[in-house]
Amino acid sequence: MVFAEMLLTAGVDDDGRRLDRILRKMCPSLPLSVIYRLLRKGRILVDGKKASADDRVRVGSVVLIPFFSDVDVVSEGAAQSKRGNQAVDLEIIAESEFLLALNKPSGLAVHDGEDSLASRVAVYLAGKLKASLSFKPGPLHRLDRPTSGLIVFSKNLKGARIFSSLLRERALVKRYLALVDGCVDRECLWEDSLLHDKNRRKTFADGKGKPALTRIIPITVSSTQSLVCAEILTGRTHQIRAQAACHGHPLSGDKKYGGRFQENGFMLHASEMEFSAELENLFSTSGLLEADSTGKSADFKKLVAPLPQAFQKKVEAIFERKIIIAR
């Protein structure tokens, strides 16, 4: 039964978006059929007028919707107050008005659960962003739970759109450090077609799949294991893990992809993201950006996520030497 109404004002990140899409973001627990029924009956108003699903909302528009006692429709302010007592534990690499770059620890899920990275980011950003009915900060690319390292979150719609377009255009270069089985003693380019099986949550080489390109650069090797830098030129699900297995060098400890047993599982760290210096203000106002070490400092910049101490100690114990990762 309807017992109240909600009046919400559209922000900059809502400008030009369809009303039905905004309503789905505002009311995630409200069935889509109910949203469309309310629109047909004229119960949802924009600036005091009956609205249609495909109407475009503008900055400053006031949206009125019924509030149901038996449906979880919570405003962002209420959600923030519920999260207010959570501790925030984030290692921030860089931050601007558009984006937030973090060093994710291994074992922490990006999504799912009150202690996920996304939940921690929501707490950190609570009250710091311009109000929006439809936009919520979120991760702009994937990292598996066991993978540590650099991950970028959007802080507004502009940042999300620009970053996503750069990924599509391959204008960003991402590098990972990985401990793999076997001896990889020369640089190589892995080219495969990969297909992800959502039911099995695993990626396979398959002629019907999408192209995957990874450049592999050895850092230090032994007869049984190698520490390599993997530069991904495409962004497929489980790309490094699947290609490493396809080429006979699965990640050590990666049981799913045939890696030999290793205590605490596999070791994969998203260490760097390189981009054009023209995009510097999109990424950081923190002063933590570093010039590229290959002589391209005038044209390129990069974000660097320090290697976790446990990762560093593990590889030094395996190879019995001090290993310094160039930055």
Domain boundaries, the chain: 2-73, 80-167, 175-266
- CATH number 1.10.1060.10 is the correct assignment for the domain at 80-167: no
Q: Is the dihedral of CA 314, 114, 235, 167 positive or negative?
A: negative
Query: How far, CA to CA in Å, does 156 sit from each of 47, 62, 88, 103?
Result: 24, 20, 20, 20
pTM tops 0.85, yes or no = no
Q: In DSSP terms, which residues pair with 227 in a beta bridge? A: 179, 220
Question: Are the CB atoms for 246 and 238 separated by under 8 Å?
Answer: no
Structure tokens at 21: 């899409």
Residue written as token pair 């990292």: 143
Q: Cβ neighbours of residue 185 under 8 Å, at least 6 residues apart?
A: 218, 221, 226
Question: Are the CB atoms for 7 and 64 separated by under 8 Å?
Answer: yes
Q: What is the pLDDT along the chain (327 residues), one digit of tens a residue?
A: 444 567 778 888 888 888 888 888 777 777 778 888 888 888 888 888 888 888 898 888 888 887 654 433 443 444 444 444 444 689 999 888 888 999 999 999 998 777 899 989 988 998 888 878 778 889 999 899 999 999 999 998 888 888 888 888 878 889 999 999 999 999 999 999 999 999 999 999 999 999 999 999 999 999 999 999 999 988 899 999 999 999 999 999 999 999 999 998 999 999 999 887 666 667 654 444 444 444 444 455 888 999 999 999 999 999 988 877 754
The domain 175-266: what is its CATH number?
Answer: 3.30.2350.10
Terminal C-alpha separation, the chain: 60
Cα angle 157, 51, 154 (rounded to 5 degrees) comes to: 10
**Identical fold at 2-73 and 175-266?**
no
Architecture of the domain defined by 2-73: Roll (3.10)
